[in-house]
């Protein structure tokens, strides 16, 4: 990545909660496109997203968002105007309509001029396909539509950087596919940081992947490079494989194993999930 491509960068970021080290010396760069953030529960993903979205302050380290320093007062405001954040729990006021909720977020983002703000709210709801539902109360919407309202709130004001915390969680396969289409479109012009447990989302959407484990960056690279970590490390066998980090009987009755194969193993091409498992299991 050349310096001019870098929209967001972090260096040596650390966050502690009492004795828990949530982030430990994390450095990363985001360019245009979708960057996936993978990691086991408690790895520090939400903490990192909150730091980038200026919702949490690191104990140490540096952050740059589009040339601004969000850790200073003036830089924080400039950053907030340029970042859209979809948190894990958007904290909806369920009696709000979709329009009222997105408008409320737009006010928090300090879009103060009413007429242009309302136009921005309509644009954001149109972008997520909810233009005709903007008067619906949030409590009457399906889970997928609610997630789209949360995405519209992140999109209002058309920020060039989007931070999305597990946006496809709880969605059915069709809704997930629709969300993927939306996120892919958004990533064409913007920098999107997407935290997810869905390795398929990463494979189909992301230009780059960051793997966090125990608060530290374990991997940065392309989805193909993450997959390649498990080259020669996935095999099939009639019994549970010795030397396997993970081993399970598949629908065919044969075992699929990930780990260190025996010399005569029947090797399989790895998936991105295999690469990820290899990495975090070896931690």
Ligand X SMILES: Nc1ncnc2c1ncn2[C@@H]1O[C@H](COP(=O)(O)OP(=O)(O)OP(=O)(O)O)[C@@H](O)[C@H]1O
69 token code pair: 């320093």
Asked if 41 touches ligand X (CB under 6 A), the answer is: yes
129 token code pair: 């396909």
User: How far lies 188's CA from each of 9, 40, 75, 230, 244, in Å?
Assistant: 19, 28, 26, 29, 39
Asked if 90 touches ligand X (CB under 6 A), the answer is: no
Q: Find the part of the chain contacting ligand X (CB under 6 A) among 44-52, 61-69, 149-157, 199-207.
A: 44-52
CB of 45 or CB of 80, closer to ligand X: 45
Asked if 39 touches ligand X (CB under 6 A), the answer is: yes
Asked if 46 touches ligand X (CB under 6 A), the answer is: yes
Q: Find the part of the chain contacting ligand X (CB under 6 A) among 16-24, 79-87, 111-119, 269-277.
A: 16-24
Asked if 47 touches ligand X (CB under 6 A), the answer is: yes
Smallest separation (angstroms) from ligand X to the CB of 218: 12
Using DSSP, state whether 222 is helix, strand or coil: coil
Q: 204, exposed or middle or buried, with CB in 10 Å at 0-12, 13-18, 19+? A: middle
Starting from the edge strand earliest in sequence, which strands make up the sheet with 208-213, in order?
83-86, 161-165, 191-195, 33-38, 208-213, 216-221
Which residue reads 């200073």 in tokens? 72
CB of 29 or CB of 213, closer to ligand X: 213
Question: One symbol per residue from 18 to 37: x for binding ligand X (CB under 6 A), - otherwise; what is it?
Answer: --x-x---------------
Asked if 178 touches ligand X (CB under 6 A), the answer is: no
Smallest separation (angstroms) from ligand X to the CB of 42: 4
Q: Of residues 44, 58, 84, 87, which one binds ligand X by CB under 6 A?
A: 44
List phi, psi (to 5°) of 101.
-65, -50
Q: Find the part of the chain contacting ligand X (CB under 6 A) among 40-48, 59-67, 226-234, 263-271.
A: 40-48
Find residue 30's DSSP bridge partners: 8
Asked if 57 touches ligand X (CB under 6 A), the answer is: no
Smallest separation (angstroms) from ligand X to the CB of 155: 22
Q: In whole angstroms, what is the distance from residue 242 CA to residue 233 CA? A: 12
Asked if 4 touches ligand X (CB under 6 A), the answer is: no
Q: In whole angstroms, what is the distance from residue 141 CA to residue 135 CA? A: 11
Q: In whole angstroms, what is the distance from residue 186 CA to residue 114 CA? A: 25
Q: Give the DSSP H/E element, type plus range, for residue 148.
A: helix 143-155
Asked if 250 touches ligand X (CB under 6 A), the answer is: no
Nearest of 279, 275, 160 to residue 227 by alpha carbon? 275
CB of 22 or CB of 164, closer to ligand X: 22
CB of 46 or CB of 227, closer to ligand X: 46
Contact residues: ligand X, CB under 6 A: 17, 20, 22, 39, 41-47
């Amino acid at each position: 990545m050349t310096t001019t491509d870098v929209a967001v960068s972090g260096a040596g970021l650390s966050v502690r909660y009492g004795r828990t080290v949530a982030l430990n010396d994390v450095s990363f760069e985001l360019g245009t496109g979708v960057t996936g953030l993978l990691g086991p529960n408690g790895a520090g993903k939400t903490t990192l997203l909150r730091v980038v979205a200026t919702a949490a302050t690191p104990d140490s380290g540096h952050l740059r968002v589009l040339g601004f320093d969000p850790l200073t007062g003036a830089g924080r405001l400039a950053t907030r105007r340029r970042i859209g954040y979809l948190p894990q729990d958007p904290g909806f006021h369920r009696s709000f309509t979709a329009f009222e909720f997105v408008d409320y977020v737009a006010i928090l983002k300090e879009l103060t001029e009413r007429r242009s703000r309302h136009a921005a709210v309509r644009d954001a709801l149109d972008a997520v396909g909810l233009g005709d539902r903007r008067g619906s109360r949030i409590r009457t919407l399906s889970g997928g539509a609610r997630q789209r309202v949360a995405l519209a709130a992140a999109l209002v004001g058309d920020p060039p950087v989007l931070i999305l915390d597990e946006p496809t969680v709880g969605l059915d396969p069709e809704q997930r596919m629709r969300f993927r289409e939306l996120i892919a479109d958004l990533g064409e012009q913007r920098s999107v940081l997407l935290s997810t447990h869905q390795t398929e989302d990463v494979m189909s959407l992301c230009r780059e992947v960051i793997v966090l484990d125990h608060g530290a960056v374990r991997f940065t690279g392309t989805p193909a490079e993450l997959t390649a970590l498990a080259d020669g490390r996935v095999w099939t066998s009639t019994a549970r494989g010795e030397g396997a980090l993970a081993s399970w009987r598949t629908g065919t009755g044969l075992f699929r194993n990930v780990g260190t194969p025996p010399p005569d193993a029947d090797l399989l091409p790895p998936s991105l999930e295999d690469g990820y498992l290899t990495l975090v299991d070896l931690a």
